[in-house]
Amino acid sequence: MDLTYSDISYEALNTPVEDWRSLFNYMRENQLKTLFDAGAGHALSAQVAEAEFQDIKVYAYEIVSERIKDLDLPNQVVKCSDLFKDEIPKCDITFIYLPTGPLLERVLSQLTSGSVIAAIESHGDLFDRLDESAKLLKTIKLSAKRHHPKMKIYRWTKAKKSLKTQLRDLSFTDTYEQIHIREEDPILGETIWSADIKGVTVTSDDYVETLTPPRRFELNKILKITPPESIELIEKRRHEQFRKIFIKPYGIIEDKFGQRHFL
């Protein structure tokens, strides 16, 4: 997925001025002074705060420098930042308009219990993800056309450790660790195959979506998380030289044409 969203319109990328005004009025009513805008687009959040809400300080982080390079907002923090690498600032409220997946999980992993989140539905499942671990405080009607007509304000709570949280916490790391999946194969019978944890998404309805190889399966099919047996094989799979690595009943690789070969 292109997380720079280079192919979408200005309107789809940016939250409108009127909706920022609504959120900043909520912040004023609740004595919230600082906001982190995670993936700020053209940093309208910081522009509105600079022009109309001087008592609010925005930290607007955006990965595409071209979108923010000409802004002169002396009372705001507008920064070109890769949220996969950089730490997020500690603010009174964190604004999220992101799809579910590793980038979202990296942002959420840095929040402490009790943190306040303002969220706009991105692709249809962000609210479901937040509902797992956060308490809904308020809804605010949006002027923009989005997947849901309202912005939601949450109070975040760290989830208890589980296989799901472990997968999410590893999804944004540069790791070679693997998950072993049990699956019935029409030719081989009961099999175990492996997939990368890096880049994985775990949905709220307990499905796992892997990038390498691209597959979707139920969370309860996972047997374990394990160190890699061969980094060389994993690198070849990441470079699409083949798709699946079967562990049992014996070592087999499946190429991009669906043909299988013994290791």
Q: Residue 24 belongs to a domain with what CATH number?
A: 3.40.50.150
Note whether 37 and 134 are same-domain residues: yes
What pLDDT band is residue 146 in, cutting at 50, 70 and 90?
confident
Number of neighbours of residue 213 by Cβ within 10 angstroms: 18
pLDDT at 202: 97
pLDDT the model gives residue 7: 64
Helix/strand/coil for 119: strand
Confidence (pLDDT) at 4: 62
50-59, long-range: CB < 8 A, 24+ apart: 50/74, 50/75, 50/76, 52/21, 52/24, 53/24, 53/27, 53/28, 55/28, 56/24, 56/27, 56/28, 56/32, 57/33, 58/34, 59/34, 59/35, 59/89, 59/91
**pLDDT of res. 109:** 97
Least Cα distance to 122 among 47, 17, 15, 226 occurs for 15
Q: Residues 82-125: pLDDT tens digits?
A: 999 999 999 999 999 999 999 999 999 999 999 999 999 987 79
Question: In this predicted model, what pLDDT tens digit does every residue of 43-94 receive, in sequence order?
Answer: 999 999 999 999 999 999 999 999 999 999 999 999 999 999 999 999 999 9
Judge contact between 211 and 195, C-beta under 8 A: no
- Given a cut of 90, is residue 214 above it in pLDDT? yes
pLDDT tens per residue, range 28-37: 999 999 999 9
CA distance 20 to 2: 25
Same domain flag for 83 and 144: yes
The reported pLDDT for the residue numbered 197 is: 98
Number of alpha carbons in the 13 Å side-chain half-sphere of residue 125: 11
Give the pLDDT confidence of 148-190 residue by residue, as tens digits.
Answer: 899 999 999 999 999 999 999 999 999 999 999 999 999 999 9
The average pLDDT across 36-43 equals 96
Least confident of 11-15, 75-79, 91-95, 212-216: 11-15
- Of the residues 125, 156, 187, which one is the last residue of a structural domain? 156
Question: What pLDDT, on the 0 to 100 scale, is given for residue 74?
Answer: 97
HSE-up of residue 77 (Cα within 13 Å, Cβ side): 15
94 and 195 within one domain? no
Pairwise CA distance, residues 134 & 261, whole Å: 47
Q: CA separation (Å) from 252 to 29, 101, 119, 177?
A: 61, 29, 44, 19
Q: What is the distance between the alpha carbons of residues 73 and 2, in angstroms, rounded to a whole number?
A: 28
Q: For 219-258, how does the pLDDT look when each residue is reduced to its tens digit (9 = 90+)?
A: 999 999 999 999 999 999 999 999 999 999 999 999 989 8
Question: What is the residue-wise DSSP string for 13-43?
Answer: HS--HHHHHHHHHHHHHTT--EEEEES-TTT
In a domain, 170, yes or no: no
Q: Based on the domain organization, do 140 and 181 belong to the same domain?
A: no
Give yes or no for residue 10 having a pLDDT over 80.
no
Q: How confident is the model at residue 145 (pLDDT cuts 50, 70, 90)?
A: confident
- How confident is residue 3, by pLDDT bands cut at 50, 70 and 90? low
What is the three-class DSSP state of 79?
strand
Residue 217 belongs to domain spanning: 175-262
> What pLDDT, on a 0 to 100 scale, did the predictor assign at position 6?
65
**Does the residue 161 lie in any domain?**
no
- DSSP string over 183-248: EEETTTEEEEEEEESTT-EE-TTSEEEETTTTEEEEGGGEEEEE--S-HHHHHHHHTTS-SEEEEE
Same domain, 127 and 254: no
Residues 34 and 138 in one domain: yes
Q: How many domains does the chain have?
A: 2
